Structure 1
Amino acid sequence: MNRPISFVLVACGAVLIIYGVSASNSLGSDFSRMFTGSPTDRTIWLLLGGIVAVLVGAGGLLRGPKSS
């Protein structure tokens, strides 16, 4: 994986996590938590997608260059 792609994945993952945390504090998520005990599906997908993107991007950054 190229380093620029890894940087983009980490940045996009961080943005998704920020949106997920923001969505978890929303009124809709509060109502969902009140009735079902869990946040909305959108919140969960934003957080999971952000975490996966950050992990994949960080893995690409930590992995050394390919030896030819």
Structure 2
Amino acid sequence: MNKKVIGVVLIVVGVALGAWGYDVYDSATSQITRAINGEAPFEAWAGMVGGVICILVGILRIK
């Protein structure tokens, strides 16, 4: 039972973290930075990759 609760919490945190990363990636300042440098901010990638990792670990905990 405990593993399932932790899995669900990790999935919820992962979705929130991924959404935050995408929000940072899609912000106006990020678009300007990408237009000038061609690079996305580190926070955006960290949020999206961290979210995916949390979701995958959460799915493994539920099984």
Q: Write 1 or 2 for the structure with the bigger share of helix.
A: 2
Give the TM-score of the pair, scaled to structure 1: 0.82
What is the identity, as a one-letter code, of the residue corresponding to 1:12?
A: V
* Identity between Structure 1 and Structure 2 (%): 24
Q: Secondary structure at the match of 1:39?
A: coil
Aligned residue in 1 for 2:26: 25
Deviation at 1:20, TM superposition (A): 1.1
Is 1:54 the counterpart of 2:55? The answer is yes
Gaps of at least 5 residues in structure 1 are 63-68
Structure index of larger Rg: 1
Alpha-carbon RMSD across the aligned residues, in angstroms, is 1.3
Gaps of at least 5 residues in structure 2 are none
Aligned residue in 1 for 2:44: 43
Q: 4+ residue stretches of structure 1 with deviation over 6 A?
A: none
| Larger RCO (CA within 8 A; separation ≥ 6) | 2
